[in-house]
Amino acid sequence: MAAFLPEKISILFRRSPLTGEKASRAKHPFWVMVRKEVMDHINSWRFMILLGLMLLTTIASLYTAMSSLQRAIAEDTATSFVFLKLFTATDGSLPPFITFVSLLGPLIGIALGFDAINSERSRGTLSRLLAQPIPRDYIINAKFVASLLVITFMMIILGLLMMGMGILTTGIPPTPEEFWRVFFFLLVSIVYIGVWLNLAIMFSIKFKQAATSALSGLAVWLFFSLFFTMIVNIIVESTAPSHVADINELISYQGFVQNLLRISPSQLFSEATTTLLVPTIRTLGPITLEQASFAIAGPLPLGQSLLLVWPQLTCLAAAAFIIFGISYVLFMKQEVRSRS
């Protein structure tokens, strides 16, 4: 009997098949590369600076929203969406939280991806990675997944910080619908930043110098942030009809102008987040007075707001996948030589 005790103890401490499967999955080369890239991002000064910048903007946007929030509570005590005003309200001195995310989100994506590939090439480590018995696409996939995980981590921290500080300062907890609206707002923000992350990764593959890829990403961001609206205004002034005889013609022209503006990712992000955080928005396009007269006054439920912004979210996700597909093809066809 005593002779079987050591064997029984060894059976108890023997790994089960499930545990062994989890261990082998954790040691998979792809997830090892992802974990290494995540740790490189988190331990870098770049991540600390970006996180500190977002924390400062969160505190500033919360501070500027407090005065208008108190006024909104005093004027409309019956509303059930007071907590969402923390993300949208402003007293005019500083932009609201959604505007800060729209402006600084692209910088986060560009900062995390502008040297994803060319830095490995300049250090001579890319050829060493490709010499290992791993598929070539593991490298670019791991770069993207790791950076996206870091972005998700940052946005979750900022969202929880904004909600926690809002509860402490106002004493008003969010309702379940408000919580889910904030959740989908953070999800849209992650997709939006992912578009700029993929753009930066594409430039890091295309250009050999990290400075060139960073400047290219910043140039695209400045174009859509500053100059794109000016170009649309010039197009509107040159193509606007002088005389409108039919109201349908005017509505179609306004739809044309909106579709031009929606080429910009920031416009898609602004429409999606504003609709999610302001439930009283019922449409994103021009409507006639007859159509507005039959609308029932009141905020939209969460499901209807999601249906309203589904095209914007789909376009952002499609842009992210298209840019990543271009980056994937460029990287797979690129010739990599070891440094002499």
pLDDT tens-place string over residues 295-339: 566 678 888 889 989 999 999 999 999 999 999 999 988 877 655
The two three-digit tokens of residue 261, written as one number:
């503006």
**pLDDT at res. 290:** 55
Burial label, 319 (beta-carbon count in 10 A; 0-12, 13-18, 19+): buried
Of the candidates 192, 222, 144, 155, the one whose C-alpha atom is nearest the C-alpha of residue 312 is 192
Number of H helices, E strands in the chain: 16, 0
- CB-CB contact of 286 with 254 (8 Å): yes
**pLDDT at res. 337:** 64
- Number of Cα atoms under 13 Å in the Cβ half of residue 147: 27
- Candidate ranges 14-18, 55-59, 270-274; pick with highest mean pLDDT: 270-274
Amino acid at 301: P
**pLDDT at res. 296:** 63
Amino acid at 316: L
The two three-digit tokens of residue 165, written as one number:
């500080």
pLDDT at position 185 over 90: yes
pLDDT at position 123 over 70: yes
**pLDDT at res. 72:** 60
Task: Give, for 222, the enclosing helix (H) or strand (E).
Answer: helix 210-222
The predicted model gives 217-227 an average pLDDT of 91
**pLDDT at res. 183:** 93
pTM (predicted TM-score): 0.85
**pLDDT at res. 335:** 75
- Of the chain, the percentage scoring pLDDT greater than 70 comes to 81
Residues in contact with 271: Cβ distance below 8 Å, sequence separation at least 6, in sequence order:
262, 284, 309, 312
Q: Give me the chain's average pLDDT, please.
A: 81
How confident is residue 4, by pLDDT bands cut at 50, 70 and 90? very low
**pLDDT at res. 28:** 80
Of the candidates 200, 194, 196, 189, the one whose C-alpha atom is nearest the C-alpha of residue 270 is 189
Q: What is the DSSP letter of 225?
A: I
Of the candidates 333, 317, 320, the one whose C-alpha atom is nearest the C-alpha of residue 201 is 320
Question: Which residue's entry shows tokens 């070891």?
Answer: 338
Torsion-angle region of 310 (φ positive above 0: left; ψ -120 to 50: alpha; else: beta): alpha
**pLDDT at res. 181:** 92
How confident is residue 13, by pLDDT bands cut at 50, 70 and 90? very low
How confident is residue 100, by pLDDT bands cut at 50, 70 and 90? confident
Structural domain spans, the chain: 30-215+247-333
Q: Return the higher-pLDDT residue of 220 and 91.
A: 220
Q: Return the higher-pLDDT residue of 151 and 134.
A: 151
23-34: per-residue pLDDT in tens?
Answer: 455 578 888 889
